[in-house]
Every structure is written in C-alpha cells, then in structure tokens.
Amino acid sequence: MEGMRSMARFVQAALALGCLALSAVWAQTPTSAPTEVVFVCEHGSSKSVVAASHFNRLAKARGLTLHAVAKGLTPDAGPPEQVRQGLMNDGLPLDSFTPTPIQKKDFRPDVRVIALGCVLGPIAPDGAPFEDWPDLPAVSDGYEPAREAIVKRVNQLIDTITAPQKRNRVVAVSGRPIP
C-alpha cells in the first residue's frame, strides 16, 4: 500500500514538473500579433520616418494599440526638409525627431522589423525574422509618390497584423462580436 502512495506522489510531482516546463515554453513562444513595428531605412530619416508616422496615425484611427518607430542603419542627423515639410502637410509634424540606429535588441518576438530598401542581414541576429520592402520609391524623387506607396504597404501591414485577431473573435448568434 505504501508503495502505491509513493508511486502516486511521484506521478503527481512528474505531472506538475511537466506542466511547469510546458508553461515556460509557451510563455516564450509568441502567440499574438506584434505590438510594435520598427521601420528601418538606410539613414533612418526618410522612408522609415514616413512609414512610422503614417502607421501610428492609421493605427490610432482604427483604435489599435500598435506603435511604430523609425530607425536607420547609419542614421542621419535629422530628416531632410522635404520629409519634414511633407509630413507637416499631412498633419504629422515631426517636432524634435532624431534618427536612431537599429540594434540587435530591436529584433524581439513582440516586434515586427521591416527593412525599407536596405540590407538588415548583418545587423539581424541569426534566424531573426524581418520583412523586406525593397520596391518603394525614394522620397528624394518626390514625397507624394513615395508617401502613397508607403501608406499603401502600411495599410496592408496593419490589415495583416490585425487579421488573426479578427479571425479569432467569437461571434454571438445575433452576429455581433462578443467582447
């Protein structure tokens, strides 16, 4: 009888340890959409700034808690006047923005990193996922065409990020989402 009790305690302990180990693995596995987006261009002062500014505007307009930042491989001292003026005309003044460099620590499970016409391979940690948008027009060739192309991709990105959340929502019999 004592042997059976010892065996039962052993099995309970083994199950508890197994559950603890699984919960630790699950905690490290990203199961939700990213909450931050890092846009990266060569100098962190044009495409990435336009992308992050419009991403934040569009996310806020949709009532989302997503946030974007602009970074560069070799950051300039600041955005060119063409970018500042274009964003100002779009109602998105930059105020005192200073470009910052992309770093290995920016590649995290809760962050989506997007390269805008630059090569991230050397800075990205081995196996770190990132997207590449190589086909965007240069802002220096015209703010409006560059902005239009960037905003189109940003809208698609927001739709992609929020799509899993929409698919996983439970809908009541009435057809209204359950909060």
Range of the domain at 52: 38-162
User: Is residue 28 situated within a structural domain?
Assistant: no
Sign of CA dihedral 52, 58, 60, 65: negative
User: Is residue 138 situated within a structural domain?
Assistant: yes
User: Is residue 63 situated within a structural domain?
Assistant: yes
User: Is residue 171 situated within a structural domain?
Assistant: no
54's tokens: 């419009």
How confident is the model at residue 2, as a pLDDT? 63
User: Is residue 60 situated within a structural domain?
Assistant: yes
User: Is residue 6 situated within a structural domain?
Assistant: no
Which of 145, 155, 135, 140 has its CA nearest to residue 83?
Answer: 140
How confident is the model at residue 3, as a pLDDT? 59
Count of structural domains, the chain = 1
- Cβ contact 130:48 at 8 Å: no
CATH of the domain at 42: 3.40.50.2300
User: Is residue 129 situated within a structural domain?
Assistant: yes
* Bridge partners, residue 115, by sequence: 40, 132
pTM for the full predicted model: 0.74
The stretches in the chain having pLDDT less than 70 are: 1-32, 164-179
Q: Is residue 163 exposed (0-12), middle (13-18) or buried (19+ Cβ within 10 Å)?
A: exposed
* Cα distance between residue 106 and residue 104, in whole Å: 5
Which of 47, 49, 53 has its CA nearest to residue 91?
Answer: 53
How confident is the model at residue 124, as a pLDDT? 93
How confident is the model at residue 155, as a pLDDT? 97
Q: pLDDT (tens digit, 9 = 90+) per residue, 89-125?
A: 999 999 888 999 999 999 999 999 999 999 998 899 9
User: Is residue 121 situated within a structural domain?
Assistant: yes
How confident is the model at residue 95, as a pLDDT? 83
* Cα distance between residue 31 and residue 117, in whole Å: 29
